[in-house]
């Protein structure tokens, strides 16, 4: 519940908080990543449907952003799979997650100042 409140207040996805939590429960990093992606997909779909019902969705931007997101996700997943296959280390997922958390933490005060 605390994680959900913090995510709602800061505007970051719940997976950013649940990822480290899952890892503390010794969840396999690939399973944790898939679970976070699923949770994020459900949240994104809920927001998209809400915007459609309110008539506030800009379809042109949505298409461009959707295509960009799919291409970036496919590229990232392929790169992670190649890296983990070559090195045998799944810790890169944890490192990337930590970098995302740190950058989100740093962006909040910068956004406030702008």
Q: What is the pLDDT of residues 102-112, one digit of tens each?
A: 887 788 788 77
Where do we find the tokens 């997101």? 69
Cα angle for residues 89, 91, 17 (degrees, 5° grid)? 155
In terms of C-beta distances under 8 Å and separation of at least 24 residues, what long-range contacts does 8-14 make, across chains too?
10/104, 10/108, 12/104, 13/39, 13/40, 13/43, 14/39, 14/40, 14/43
Cβ-Cβ contacts under 8 Å for 28 (sequence gap 6 or more): 90
Listed in sequence order, the DSSP H helices in 1-114 are: 2-10, 15-24, 29-54, 59-87, 91-113
CA gap 106, 108 in Å, rounded: 6
Pair of tokens at residue 20: 């480290």
Average pLDDT, the chain: 81
User: How does DSSP classify residue 89?
Assistant: -
What is the structure's pLDDT at 29? 79
Tell me which residue range forms the domain holding 6.
2-113
Number of domains in the chain: 1
pLDDT reading at 16 higher than 80: no
């Amino acid at each position: 519940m605390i994680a959900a409140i913090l995510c709602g207040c800061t505007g970051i996805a719940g997976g950013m908080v649940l990822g480290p939590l899952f890892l503390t429960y010794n969840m396999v990093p690939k399973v944790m990543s898939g679970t976070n992606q699923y949770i994020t997909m459900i949240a994104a779909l809920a927001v998209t449907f809400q915007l459609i019902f309110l008539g506030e969705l800009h379809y042109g931007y949505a298409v461009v952003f959707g295509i960009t997101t799919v291409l970036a996700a496919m590229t990232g997943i392929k790169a992670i799979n190649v890296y983990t296959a070559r090195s045998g280390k799944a810790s890169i997922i944890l490192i990337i997650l930590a970098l995302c958390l740190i950058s989100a933490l740093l962006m909040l005060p910068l956004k406030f100042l702008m």
